Structures are given as structure tokens and as C-alpha cells.
A and B are shown apart, each in its own frame.
Chain A
């Protein structure tokens, strides 16, 4: 019953360093998502993958890249980290790529950039 697994859970980076956040789901879902959560702003969509082999930008894609490695895995990369990217990052998955399907969330990655 793992659901959505994110690694690492915590990370501290220096400005300019690069980092890849990993996400894997074992529910055979087609769609996967990356969000960031900041105080008072709810969750904002960074990137989305409707199905294996496709990715699309969300609300706040600048400074990030993603890779849908296979149906299970969806990674988020920060090429040159900036303090403004300090946040909690959540990966989610859903059966299909339409938002009337409930999304299942991982426990998050808490990222601090100094």
C-alpha cells in the first residue's frame, strides 16, 4: 500500500546547485503531477503528465524541468536552485488526466535553498 512515494523527504541546497526530486506511484495511474506548497498560497501546479510520454506546464513552471521516465515515475529537476524555490513539493497521481478524478498525494519533499 505504498501509493505515491517521494524521495528525499528533506533537502538543503545552496543557491545554484541542481537537484532532482523523485516520485513513484504503484497504483497504475496514467496521470502524474508536481505541486509546490507555500504558506497562504495553497498548492500550485508546476508540471503535469497526462500519460506516459507527455508533459505539460502548469501555473509555475519557470526554473523546473520534468521527466516522465515510465508509467510509474515522474521526476522534477531544479537545474540551478534559487532561494525562491524553497518550498514543500508534492507529487500526485490520478487514474486519468482530467481533474474530476481524485488525486493521490505523496508525503512531500521539504526543500530549503540557502
Chain B
């Protein structure tokens, strides 16, 4: 079964600074990887996904993520954060032969002025 680890529970970053959120997955075959964002009081919104092909994927709101098979990682990045990026971010992994989408515990991002 697949699983996800997000090593950072909480990250604080200054507005305008870069952001990187870590995600490590465990799965024996080619994973299907997702990043979701959750603003306070809201549901989860899909930022980006990786199924195959180019290992650098672009998403909404200026986010990108890079799939590194050798490191079992799918880290999320943004070059310059805005105050509106303060939210909780979830990495998730799925497989084509399974209904289950496994989520990490989440990383809370605080943006300081």
C-alpha cells in the first residue's frame, strides 16, 4: 500500500521569499502524485498533479513540483510567496489499481509580512 510523509508540520516564510514543501512517498510502482491546498474553513483544492512524463509540473497559483523517483520525493515550490498562500498543504499519492488516495499529515504555512 502507498503512503506519504510530509516531514515539516509548520513552516513560516516571509512574504516575497521562496517556499519549498517536502513530500516523500512510498509505493512500489509508478505513483500518481498530487498536491492540494486547504485555506482556513475551506475544502481541499488541487494545486497540481503528476501522472507521467515531464518530472517538473506546473500548477495553479504559481506553484510547481518536481518528481524525483530516486529520492521518492515530490516537493512543492513557489519562487515568491504572497500573504494569500498561508494555508495547509497536503501531498497525496494514488495508484491506478486502487481506489485509495493516501494523504500526508499536512504542512501549515504561515506568511509573515
Q: Which A residues lie at the B interface, using CB under 8 A?
A: 4, 31, 33, 40-45, 48, 50, 56, 58-59, 90, 92, 97-100, 102-108
Number of interface residues, chain B, beta carbon within 8 A: 26
Q: How far is the CA of A42 from the CA of B93 in the complex (A)?
A: 13
Closest B residue to A94 by beta carbon equals: B101
B53 within 8 A of A: no
Closest B residue to A108 by beta carbon equals: B43
Interchain CB contact (< 8 A) of A56 among B34, B96, B99, B106 = B99
Decide: A42 and B9 in contact? CB cutoff 8 A. no
Interchain CB contact (< 8 A) of A42 among B49, B99, B103 = B103
- Main DSSP-derived SS at the A contact region: loop
Contact with A along B77-113 (1 / 0, CB 8 A): 0000000000000100011111111011110000000
Which residues of B25-80 are within 8 A (CB) of A? 32, 34, 36, 41-46, 49, 51
Closest A residue to B4 by beta carbon equals: A42
CB of B110 to closest CB in A, whole Å: 16
For A104, list chain B residues within 8 Å (CB): 46
Q: How far is the CA of A4 from the CA of B42 in the complex (A)?
A: 12
Decide: A50 and B99 in contact? CB cutoff 8 A. yes
Closest B residue to A41 by beta carbon equals: B105
The answer to whether A99 and B95 touch (CB under 8 A), given A45-B100, A107-B41, A108-B43, is: yes
For A107, list chain B residues within 8 Å (CB): 41-43
The answer to whether A43 and B103 touch (CB under 8 A), given A99-B98, A105-B45, is: yes
Decide: B43 and A45 in contact? CB cutoff 8 A. no
24 inter-chain pairs at a CB distance below 8 angstroms, sorted by A residue, are A33-B101, A41-B105, A42-B4, A42-B104, A42-B105, A42-B106, A45-B101, A56-B99, A97-B99, A98-B95, A98-B96, A98-B97, A98-B98, A99-B96, A99-B98, A99-B100, A99-B101, A100-B94, A100-B96, A102-B46, A104-B46, A105-B45, A107-B43, A108-B41
For B94, list chain A residues within 8 Å (CB): 98-100
For A50, list chain B residues within 8 Å (CB): 99
Q: How far is the CA of A105 from the CA of B47 in the complex (A)?
A: 13
For A56, list chain B residues within 8 Å (CB): 99
